[in-house]
Amino acid sequence: MGPVGSYDDVFFWAHMIQHMILMMLAAPLLVLGQPVLLALRAVPVRFRRRYLLPLLRSQAIEWLGDPRITWLLFVAVLCGTHFSPFYEFALEHEWAHKYVEHPLYLGVALLYYYPLMGRGPFAQRVRPSHKIVSLLLMMIPEAITGFFIYASPYVLYPHYAAVHRPFGPGALADQQLGGALMWAGSMLLDTGWVALAVRDWLVEDTRKTRRADQQSALAGRA
């Protein structure tokens, strides 16, 4: 919807903004909305006990919730789709773009951010320091992806060289703009999520300190 969706097949920069929104903005915001808790509350009790809870407690979900696995999946999808024939295939086939590429980006991002930012049930307990390290390390493949797209001396995706452009830059300049947006924009978004993780760490430490002080005070009275 809107200008980004209207021009994603015409301008590479619009397509790149679309990917950044799906993977680095929409996904973490959805995770902060506690979708698992909402699902547990919204579905009928019988469905929850028979299907949803066994699924959430399964070994597959536990494996997919491992922050190390989700980090690797995120990087593999990000780099694999942008530097493989799949990207051009999705541009030439609308069904692959809408029903394969977009769900893949959003799905793998939800898996990545849930253990790091999820506050609902079945979110694996990850140390605050590990969350921050994971988010900081994610900046590396995101920046590298954007840099190599920006620095490429030729058009990586033939679709954008052949498509009719009603306005705007040529294919190579368009690609450089999209790469720069990925390079700088991903680091800017990730900085925001790192700041949120640091805030949560400070809040958690404050709670622990208060709890320890209360226990010490009770012990002193006893």
Q: Which of the residues in the chain have pLDDT under 50?
A: none
Torsion angles phi and psi, residue 119, rounded to 5: -110, 5
Under 8 Å between Cβ of 190 and 138? yes
What per-residue confidence (pLDDT) applies to 144?
95
What per-residue confidence (pLDDT) applies to 89?
95
E strand segments, 166-205 = none
What per-residue confidence (pLDDT) applies to 1?
67
pTM, two decimals, is: 0.88
Q: Which two tokens stand for residue 128?
A: 């605050």
What per-residue confidence (pLDDT) applies to 127?
86
Q: Which two tokens stand for residue 125?
A: 């307990």
- SS3 state at 165: coil
Give CA–CA dist 73/159, Å, rounded.
27
Q: What is the DSSP string of the chain?
A: -HHHHHHTTT-HHHHHHHHHIIIIIIHHHHHHT-HHHHHHHHS-HHHIIIIIHHHHTSHHHHHHT-HHHHHHHHHHHHHHHHTSHHHHHHHH-HHHIIIIIHHHHHHHHHHHHHHHH--STT-----HHHHHHHHHHHHHHHHHHHHHHHH-SS-S-HHHHHS--SSS--HHHHHHHHHHHHHHHHHHHHHHHHHHHHHHHHHHHHHHHHHHHHHHHHHHH-
Q: Which two tokens stand for residue 20?
A: 């950044």
- SS3 state at 22: helix
Give CA–CA dist 115/220, Å, rounded.
38
Give CA–CA dist 203/195, Å, rounded.
12
What per-residue confidence (pLDDT) applies to 222?
66
What per-residue confidence (pLDDT) applies to 95?
93
Give CA–CA dist 54/61, Å, rounded.
10
What per-residue confidence (pLDDT) applies to 99?
94
